[in-house]
Structure 1
Amino acid sequence: MVPAATPGKLTKGAGNCSTLCRSQSILPGSPMDGPQLESFITWATLGVILGGRLGYVIFYNPAQYLAEPMAILRLWDGGMSFHGGAAGVILGCFGFGWANKVNGLRVLDYVATVSPLGLGLGRLANFVNGELWGRPTGSDWGVIFPGAGPEPRYPSQLFEAGLEGAVLLAVLSWLFWRTGARLRPGLLSGVFGIGYGSARFIVEYFREPDRQLGILSSGLTMGQ
């Protein structure tokens, strides 16, 4: 279930990216402020949009886009990948660092520290909007989502909001404020990568797989 990349969602995504970039600038020792911050917002926003789209093309439906390359530009038809967007932001951090003579790993660390806030709020929005729902369940905590049929499903969006959002934010905040992690380039972003990957791997067992892919022959999903 890859959400459609409507113009409204792209604008919202770019706005969220800008907000997160600005929020990290208030942290002590931030490598970005003033004109540099505005420049980085441009790098990060382009990374999210271009990376998200190319990630979808490469990971989810390469055959279709090889047959019709111009379809890659039709963002209004839907198709964005979180993994691709994340890769785009990483490249944006290093591109910004190279262009501004700033350590790209330090830039990435500060972005990673505040990213769980955006992830958690995004998953709560998914739950409210009734999208990216979970697999069918007979448990008492099942939720019936409009458009997902009559059977109750796991509220996997809330599981993700808790793990990718609240728990990961708490861990990174503790490391940032209570230890010297922010003085060791790459440490915070490494913890974020491990934490997010672990949380996503677990929640994928409760989340409905993408319609066009289903469960892979290995028993895992594309998200895992």
Structure 2
Amino acid sequence: MLAYPQIDPVALAIGPLKIHWYGLMYLIGIGSAWLLASRRLNDFDPTWTKEKLSDLVFWTAMGVIVGGRLGYVLFYDLEAYIANPLLIFEVWKGGMAFHGGLLGVMLATWWFGRRNGKSFFELMDFIAPLVPIGLGAGRIGNFINAELWGKPTDVPWAMVFPPYSDPAQLARHPSQLYQFALEGVALFIILWAFSRKPRPTMAVSGMFALFYGIFRFIVEFVRVPDAQLGYLAWGWLTMGQVLCLPMILGGLALIWWAYNRGPSVTRTTP
């Protein structure tokens, strides 16, 4: 069994101001994505300026934050937030839903594309390989917060999380680290390698949806579901898995359509 590293969720405290690692992970993810997008910008569109890229990053970041929070409220704990709406603003305590964040990014991308002469999937193909950086950073934030841990296990790398997080003090799967490895590292490698060659429009987006859905669906088998929801069916199906099924099917459909709809615009990458 491995020792859980006791990391203070507060990275820096200046008087009443507290900067949480969870929030810093979002900044790291967004900043890293912006740097990598800058590297790809000339291949994506030589006419685009760094200022236009900054605008895209800003609006998609707003989509992540607003969509992620509202997604958690709607998909995972609506009754609690109706009872106390002010909880919606306490984002430093966690409570962000990837699928809500994805919908937020899609909406922001559609709106930004309409204003800048780009199709929805042109922009989504450009953005998709950058997303795993933020996903990986977010899972590290979950790990530092000692939240979203896994089921009890006797594997050698099991961890006992702090009593304030897990009063039962059981050795558990560090499922946050599994998600970091799959949704962050593995997904980044797959998408970055795949998108280095010209691909039909929608193919990169399809690969993202397919592999994120598969990775998340798998990890949900060893991750404890949200207490307020539990299992939705058959004693094992979680909300995360329910939300991933459309992603897997949609990803397969996008890849098939990208390669079978005839001549299409392709994108070039570094």
TM-score range, shorter chain: 0.7 to 0.9
Equivalence for 1:150? 169
> What's the offset of the Cα at 1:220?
0.6
Larger radius of gyration: 2
> What's the offset of the Cα at 1:98?
0.9
Deviation per residue, 1:168-188 (Å, 9 max, x gap): 2221122112x322xx22211
Whether 1:91 aligns to 2:110 is no
Structure 1 residues without counterparts, runs of 5 or longer: none
> What's the offset of the Cα at 1:75?
4.9
Equivalence for 2:182? 163
In structure 2, C-alpha distance between the alignment counterparts of 1:80 and 1:68, rounded to whole Å: 17
Whether 1:194 aligns to 2:207 is no
Q: Which of 209, 220, 224 is the matching residue for 2:237?
A: 220
Equivalence for 1:108? 124
Q: 1:155 to 1:70 in 2, by over 3 A?
A: closer
Q: 1:127 to 1:73 in 2, by over 3 A?
A: closer
SS across alignment from 1:26:
helix
> What's the offset of the Cα at 1:159?
1.6
- 1:21/1:111 contact within 8 Å kept: no
Q: Which of 30, 50, 56 is the matching residue for 1:17?
A: 30
In structure 1, C-alpha distance between the alignment counterparts of 2:161 and 2:84, rounded to whole Å: 34
> What's the offset of the Cα at 1:113?
0.7
In structure 1, C-alpha distance between the alignment counterparts of 2:213 and 2:117, rounded to whole Å: 30
- 1:14/1:45 contact within 8 Å kept: no
Equivalence for 2:44? 30
- Aligned pairs for 1:119-134 within 5 A: 119-134=135-150
- Normalised by the size of structure 1, how large is the TM-score? 0.83
- Structure number having the greater strand percentage: 2
Equivalence for 1:59? 75
Please give the root-mean-square deviation of Cα atoms over the aligned residues, in Å: 2.6
Matched positions, count = 217
> What's the offset of the Cα at 1:104?
2.5
- Aligned pairs for 1:177-192 within 5 A: 177=196, 179-181=197-199, 184-192=200-208
Structure 2 residues without counterparts, runs of 5 or longer: 1-8, 10-17, 242-270
% same residue = 39
Matched to 2:239, the amino acid is: M
In structure 2, C-alpha distance between the alignment counterparts of 1:204 and 1:59, rounded to whole Å: 16
Matched to 1:20, the amino acid is: A
Q: 1:71 to 1:208 in 2, by over 3 A?
A: closer
In structure 2, C-alpha distance between the alignment counterparts of 1:120 and 1:95, rounded to whole Å: 26
In structure 2, C-alpha distance between the alignment counterparts of 1:7 and 1:54, rounded to whole Å: 22
SS across alignment from 2:240:
coil
Matched to 1:112, the amino acid is: A
Matched to 2:182, the amino acid is: L
Matched to 1:30, the amino acid is: F
- Normalised by the size of structure 2, how large is the TM-score? 0.70
